[in-house]
């Protein structure tokens, strides 16, 4: 698949897909990811929804991963590797368990009621912002 956005995402609901380009699922009122992603070559946007889980996220993202402004209580299901930055700003996270192991640029988890940073990525290429 070349890209997925608000105009074409419904045709992939319930399917497992690999996307060469960008996935843009912001502002759709999603409570869960409706598509199972294996890999995304570009950026992955799922911010400003009502997500409570990242299950279905790609295992690997070549660009940036944005899941800010949701209702996430866990990062379980997040990608294992993100080539760019990982932003999970303003959710309901109390820990970083399930966070990617490797993030190529910044890891930003500002605005969460974190009790611990245990589980943060092993490798962060940029800044850790909490």
Q: Place 51 in a pLDDT band, splitting at 50, 70 and 90.
A: very high
Question: Which string of DSSP letters, residue by residue, matches 52-81?
Answer: S--TT--SEESS-EE--SS--S--TT--SE
pLDDT, tens only, 102-121: 999 999 999 999 999 999 99
Maximum Cα interatomic distance, the chain, rounded to a whole number of Å = 40
pTM over 0.85: yes
CA distances from residue 99 to 5, 8, 10, 42 in whole angstroms, order as listed? 24, 28, 27, 19
pLDDT, tens only, 62-83: 999 999 999 999 999 999 999 9
Q: Place 86 in a pLDDT band, splitting at 50, 70 and 90.
A: very high
């Amino acid at each position: 698949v070349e890209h997925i956005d608000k105009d074409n995402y419904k045709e992939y609901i319930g399917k497992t897909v690999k996307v060469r380009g960008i996935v843009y699922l912001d502002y759709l009122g999603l409570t869960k990811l409706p598509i199972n992603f294996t890999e995304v070559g570009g950026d992955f946007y799922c911010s400003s929804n009502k997500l409570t889980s990242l299950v279905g996220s790609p295992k690997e993202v070549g660009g940036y991963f944005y899941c800010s402004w949701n209702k996430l209580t866990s990062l379980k299901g997040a990608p294992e590797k993100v080539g760019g930055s990982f932003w999970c700003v303003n959710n309901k996270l109390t820990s970083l368990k399930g966070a990617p192991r490797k993030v190529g640029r910044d890891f930003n988890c500002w605005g969460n009621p974190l009790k611990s940073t245990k589980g943060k990525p092993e490798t962060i290429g940029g800044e850790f912002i909490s």
